[in-house]
Chain A
């Protein structure tokens, strides 16, 4: 299934049944628009932020890059999870904007508090970043960035993250419409034993 088909389906859902379903009306047109825009931006190679300023995006991206770091396999930064988060906050999670608008300045204060002289999380070295995030890992802000980063790594690419399905590839998931048995090691072994 292509992303184009997916958008079409989402559009159909919005138009055919949205009138009757108040809750769909509330959320899905916004998501549809966000997804379409994300795809368009990705195609043109000029992804833009809708909710974050460039400075905020850099901060969020740096936090995300510590939550799922890059390494042998791609991490959140490679998968562009920050674009997912940006879209989410302008669509289905718009009611969570406050957590970022209040959390980012608090993050800055914490940076200054722990590392006087530096004013941005993204300017800290990796060790300092880990130290800082460890200090705030029980906050509402960190927990939301954590959930959003995971989503931005593993949700359908049409939401703006999981670029080139890097997140799915990293964990060994494929999105296909059909498979044939055997599916895994143990059922293959089981079938062999049956013969």
Chain B
């Protein structure tokens, strides 16, 4: 791998080497530009991962996460504060979770890889205003992004069956790989859906069902969600993109580099990034342009921390919208037990998905829709703590009996729902609490829109119908509540044509700063249906194309 001497001014510095940043860096370096990735987390490899639930799984047990946070942000060093509304004092809480390593969240993600549907880009025009929300159209349409969805699927390696869902948007190419073999959870979801007249289809997964581009196929070991893949079969940007970026000889990957400020020159252009290395020594990496890919929570935090005399309210924030319209992963969950063993601890999480209720429907009386999948949301420890029927004793012979009987007979029906954008939901800097580097802690202000609760309730009811139709012996719904944690971090630097009403333009360039780009979930105008990775990565390929074009014309 290339290493640039300390004082080198490179063409692009990419802050954040995750799902989006790795793609942008690879595309830029392949096009001939000098690139440095500054990633706050470590650079791990397949040999660092293992089947160790205690080490890798984040186990949420009230009052919080009792996991070790190896692949994700560590809240003891980088605390969050949380409040429901701006007039409350925020209190310390582990709210925001993101992948904190090279590859970012794609290292530990489940691999669900849904495209947005056409409607996702113009819901405001289609359904009108939703009182209390800041619903808006995207400045791009599905057709603008379609080639990049295809590019992402083929470059990264996605398994699926084109045309299997009657609700799928048009696509120019099928998936590069056939779908993963069905699991018992998928077979049961399909059984239930068929009885109800709905359509379960093979899940599109960013996991290789067959060997692809020199990487091995999934061996069905079962340790996907929350784990790094030991086979390289999960199509994380770590496995599928970073090696290509390194091969260009122009992309330096600098892990353990925690950026505290994007620096600006007297002309109001950005000229580099100031960061701490692993020893907390400060460095400046100079660059002709800066691309921020830190995720929907850390990106606005960094822009706000980058205030200066020229940008007193934070960088690229003349609209006042940096950090606003924060959207999270909402959904509901029901569980059921079945007569025969499912052995859901094997293979990938999800093999069937239902999109019959994806779109909003005014007849329901509220805005929102979503997708449904079937999975087993647990590993042994987390199952014993959180997976048993609600009336199970918490200890003793009855607890043990339920644990033995249910571990291999339980299925989770999981829904992925729209989250309305609200200007009052935000990421900001906590005025008091600091992280272990002395930087302001990330403060979350969040309360779901009433329609979001109705959406989750509607989906929870559909899940119970599915479990009934699939023949569950027992079924129960996890009570619906507001988000107390979030892993899909969206909307905080929304894209748009108007500098007054958005932070970046439709090519991810900051309205206020010509050589600053923001590419990650923060660009989202609406949430889609809580499966953002595919769209984040398609946007990254598209944004990189435009950066390359602009840079070659001297337009950066």
Contact = CB atoms under 8 A, between A and B. Distances in A.
B222 interface: yes
B480 interface: no
B340 A186 contact: yes
B182 interface: yes
Nearest to B470: A186
Given A23-B74, A178-B221, A133 B395 contact: yes
A17 B53 contact: no
22 contacts: A10-B50, A12-B48, A17-B42, A17-B256, A20-B278, A23-B69, A68-B399, A75-B400, A150-B385, A154-B380, A171-B383, A172-B341, A178-B220, A180-B220, A181-B347, A183-B183, A183-B184, A184-B343, A184-B344, A184-B346, A186-B187, A186-B342
B436 A147 contact: no
Nearest to A162: B380
A176 interface: yes
A55 interface: no
A151 B51 contact: no
Contacts of A115: none
Interface in B160-214: 181-184, 186-188, 190-191
A102 interface: no
Contacts of B343: 172, 183-184
B182 A9 contact: no
Contacts of B307: none
B184 to A, nearest CB: 4
A79 to B, nearest CB: 12
Interface string B368-402: 00000000000011011100000000111101100
Nearest to B436: A22
Contacts of A137: 394-395
Interface string A167-179: 1101111111111
A21 B41 contact: yes
Contact of B403 (A13, A133, A171, A190): A171
B27 to A, nearest CB: 26
A71 interface: yes
B183 A13 contact: no
B43 interface: yes
Interface string B422-448: 000000000000001000000000000
A176 B404 contact: no
A130 B277 CA distance: 53
A6 interface: yes
Contact of A1 (B50, B68, B222, B403): B50
A176 B399 contact: no
B70 A66 contact: no
A186 B68 contact: no
A13 B48 contact: yes
B345 interface: yes
A64 to B, nearest CB: 10
A155 B54 contact: yes
Given A10-B50, A155-B381, A173-B345, 20 more contacts: A6-B52, A9-B50, A17-B48, A21-B41, A23-B77, A27-B68, A67-B395, A68-B395, A71-B400, A73-B400, A151-B381, A156-B53, A159-B54, A172-B341, A179-B346, A179-B347, A181-B183, A183-B183, A184-B184, A185-B341
A92 interface: yes
A173 B396 contact: no
A67 B393 CA distance: 10
B186 to A, nearest CB: 7
Interface of B: 41-44, 47-55, 61, 66, 68-70, 74, 76-77, 181-184, 186-188, 190-191, 219-222, 230, 255-256, 277-278, 338, 340-347, 380-381, 383-385, 394-397, 399-400, 403-404, 407-408, 436
A183 B482 CA distance: 35
A190 B182 contact: yes
A66 B436 CA distance: 41
A180 B50 CA distance: 20
Contacts of A67: 395-396, 399
Given A17-B44, A20-B256, A184-B342, A179 B221 contact: yes
Given A17-B43, A185-B340, A22 B77 contact: yes
A10 B44 CA distance: 12
A13 B342 contact: no
B336 to A, nearest CB: 12
A6 B338 CA distance: 35
A173 B220 contact: no
A69 B400 contact: yes
A146 B394 contact: yes
B66 A147 contact: yes
Contacts of A159: 54
Contacts of A150: 381, 384-385
A171 B405 CA distance: 7
A171 B380 contact: yes
A6 B50 contact: yes
Nearest to B340: A185
A48 interface: no
Contact of A178 (B219, B278, B404): B219
Nearest to A170: B404
Nearest to A69: B397
Contact of A20 (B42, B53, B221, B407): B42
